[in-house]
Amino acid sequence: MSFDALERALIELAASGELTREQAEQVRERYMVELARPEDSIAPAHVANEERNRRSLLGEIGGYVGGAFTLVATLIILGSTWSQLSNIGRIITLLALTLIFAAVALLLHRGEKSPVRARLVATLFSFAGISGAATAGVATPWQKALVASIVGSIIVDIAYFRNRTSVGHVSLFVFKIFATMAFLDAVNIFGGAVAALVVAAIAVAWYFYSQRGIFHEEMLGFTIASGTAFVSAEIAFIGSSHIIGYLLFLATGVAGYLLYSRNRRWPFLVAAVAASTFGVGQFITATLGGALGVSIGLLGAGLVLLGASTFILRTRRLAPPQS
């Protein structure tokens, strides 16, 4: 903070009665003393704390890189010798890799708790989930993708609820989508209306779990839910279920605007604007067709964006100030 900014703040606080003139003068004197203090006079405890933070960061990066190298190197080695290994040999190799990742993660989890260590534990458990899923896929003689996704999902589920971090949250979502897609493929429903509605249901569930605190990373949960809701509508269009796609775009837009008007979380706004823009544009383009349809679709999308912008600015202006 510059001295001018400090001076303005002190004058305002003194004028409002929150500080006396004597207190304001003491703050000025202490500020000038701190400016004159040499850099090498910083307290040893502060230096030691910075050193610990630096070592923690290096340890975290080393854990990420080491885990990734271990996983990639193992996959490369397996790729070159896969055909020479028996099925039992493949299972043992992948299972050993899973146990290594899980054992290191558990060892770190039992130590001193810190955000850095928690993220590293979550990353290692994610690697364990990947290798565990691969182990199950090799071991099972039927529905390999489904069994692999279920086993991997169980591993990351247990890991997340014992060690809640954003890394574990993302892994949890990825494996849930993997398991859902594998199940839909197993029952021969991979695209179209049913798949879109299932993905939309996942988006609703993710919002509910994040809002209720089951997932601790609320903003990340809202972001995942909003993005998944938008993707569900696109899945319907890819599967030629246009009516379902329009309805999902409509539901995403309405829900997004309503939720944003209540709590001002940006993922809801982004999802609402994207759903409105793409929904209107695709509807007009599909209805009219040709170059004229595309042009009018772009015009409609632009009008929707202008309307959304007006709505956002009005609701922000009318919103009561945050205390």
Whether 127 is covered by a domain: the verdict is: no
Is the sign of the CA dihedral 264, 266, 269, 271 positive or negative? negative
Is the sign of the CA dihedral 28, 33, 39, 41 positive or negative? negative
| pTM (global) more than 0.75 | no
Domain residues for 239? 191-323
Give the per-residue pLDDT at 69. 67
Question: What is the rounded distance in angstroms from the CA atom of residue 122 to the CA atom of residue 203?
Answer: 23
Whether 53 is covered by a domain: the verdict is: no
- CA terminus-to-terminus distance, the chain: 24
Whether 98 is covered by a domain: the verdict is: no
Whether 68 is covered by a domain: the verdict is: no
Structure tokens at 268: 């809801």
Whether 70 is covered by a domain: the verdict is: no
Number of domains present in the structure of the chain: 1
Whether 267 is covered by a domain: the verdict is: yes
Whether 286 is covered by a domain: the verdict is: yes
Phi-psi region of 86 (alpha: psi -120 to 50; beta: other; left: phi over 0): beta
Whether 118 is covered by a domain: the verdict is: no
Give the per-residue pLDDT at 61. 67
Structure tokens at 97: 């890799």
Give the per-residue pLDDT at 207. 95
Give the per-residue pLDDT at 130. 92
Question: What is the rounded distance in angstroms from the CA atom of residue 161 to the CA atom of residue 156?
Answer: 9
Amino acid at 194: V
Divide the 323 residues of the chain into consecutive groups of 10 and give the mean pLDDT of each group: 70 76 78 60 46 57 66 68 80 89 86 77 90 92 91 94 91 94 83 87 95 90 95 87 90 90 86 83 67 58 63 55 45
